[in-house]
Amino acid sequence: MTSAAVEPRGDTTRARRGHPPVALAASLLGFFVITLDALVVNVALPAIRSDLGGGITGLQWALDGYTLMFAALLLSAGSLSDRIGARRAFGLGLAVFMAASIACGLAPTLPVLVAARLVQGAGAAAMMPTSLALIREAYTDSVKRARAVALWAVGGAVASAAGPVAGGAASLISWRTIFFINLPIGLAALLLLARTAPSPRRPAPFDVTGQVTAVVAMGALTLAAIEAGERGLTDPVVCTAALITLVAAAVFLRAQARGRAPMVPLSLLRRRTVVISCAAGFAFMAGFYGMVFLFSLYLQQQRGLSPLATGAAFVPMTVLSAFINPLSARAAERFGPRVPIACGLLLMAAGLITLALVPETTPTWALAALMLPVGLGGPLAMPPTTALLVNSVPAQQTGTASGVFNTSRQLGGALAVAVFGALLAGQSHMLTGVRISLLLAAAVVGAAGVAACFLRPAADHPTGTAPAPSPGSAQPEGSLPHPAQPRIAKETTP
């Protein structure tokens, strides 16, 4: 096949674009279960430990096994979306995710649970970038697409709200039930997906060197961070893992710079919008999921709350997130994306600092109230960040750019659990480790907020079949769309 792209023809293309809510609904449900499984396990950690055994390190791997594989495979998942089509890749990932969820729920030992979580993360990796690609294909107008992305983000916001409570409630019966929740939701998403037309396919060679070194680098980095808490920074295992990380990262960068078919073209990383968007995604996940991890353990182990009460403490923050998500796209339309992104991240950093400095005697209801700025900042920043990223790259690079962006997000969450867990293990008093971790998270989120002040709105790149820029070429950020495709909507600047 020599054409640059294989497009569905005639009525198929019109059907796909004529029913965009169907594609949006399938994408939203996929994002829902992905986010749910990143959060629902946090509150159930003590129950898992009681049933399967293992210390803080084992619990960290139960969380990071999912996010690590998720992050490591997202880079190739973007290329998979381009190569076999977003619709097919999404369905394949969802099927793997559902099968792994069953294995998680039936796991007899902690190592089996971690292994199943790794497979679950692989399925999630195939689903995440393809869900955004489905939205890009269905919505050709940049304004409508931004609103669709905001609604897509509602799936994650609702999962964030339901996750802690669902995990706590399920733990009262059995922690295993938290994984079976995915099955009816996944089936509904597959039925919706069946009503969408096949997606376009584009040649996308698989970068073996890049993928292998990415997995090795991220895995070794996570291992070093987790083991440093119990073994110390000078332990041979920690030092060896750190060295492997550096070597693998160097080989990865070399492969992307000189490879014939890099999965992360370095020209993509020369775009200011892409770099800052990835930094914002990394910081948000480090702050939000890191905080949920910390307080899930602190409220149960130090304050003696039940799993359900612990999950309920997160409800005000997560419910607020669900309400704010749809409004962030309209704020970006009115003020430009830079304002809600920067304000959201800085507000989130302020909330993390406040939580770190409150007295130990602060009642639980007050802690739940003080989490509200964190719950408000994330949904203000993330939907416009995602929409800006999608609009800033050509349609042919949407899958790859989405993979890079979501890799940075998941890596932020994985490292937060690894580093914060190490800080908890390295302190004699858990509250001290919690405070240090929150201040570290605030510094990362605050730095991303400052960087967001330098964002510029990108010209819309319409969906089409124009050839993508070659890996070695750099397209100026903010350049005009393809001449054959007039710009649909005007972007505003503050």
Residue type, 130: T
pLDDT at 447: 94
Tokens encoding 428: 């004699």
Tokens encoding 150: 């905001």
For the stretch 72-94, pLDDT in tens is: 887 777 667 777 777 888 889 99
Residue type, 390: V
CA distances from residue 378 to 63, 273, 285, 325 in whole angstroms, order as listed = 21, 18, 9, 9
Residue type, 287: G
399 touches 129 (CB < 8 A): yes
DSSP 262: -
Count H helices, E strands: the chain? 18, 0
CB-count burial class (<10 Å; 0-12, 13-18, 19+) for 454: exposed
Identify the three-state secondary structure at position 390. Answer: helix
Structure-token match 């396990």, residue found = 41
Tokens encoding 443: 């510094």
Identify the three-state secondary structure at position 6. Answer: strand
Question: Cα–Cα distance between 400 and 77 in angstroms, integer?
Answer: 8
Question: Hey, CA dihedral for 381, 479, 71, 224, is it positive or negative?
Answer: negative
Residue type, 65: G
pLDDT at 493: 30
pLDDT tens for the chain, 494 residues: list them: 443 444 444 444 444 444 788 888 888 888 888 888 877 888 888 888 888 877 777 788 888 889 888 888 877 776 677 777 778 888 899 999 999 999 999 989 888 999 999 999 999 888 887 887 788 777 777 777 777 877 887 777 777 777 778 778 877 888 888 898 889 888 998 888 888 767 666 666 777 888 889 889 988 988 888 888 777 778 888 899 999 999 999 998 888 888 777 777 777 777 888 888 899 999 998 998 889 889 988 898 888 888 888 888 888 887 777 677 667 666 766 777 788 888 899 999 999 999 999 998 889 899 999 999 988 888 788 878 877 887 777 766 766 777 788 788 888 888 888 888 888 876 667 888 899 999 999 999 999 999 988 877 655 444 433 333 322 233 333 332 332 233 333 333 33
Residue type, 108: P
Beta bridge partners of 201: 6
pLDDT at 467: 32
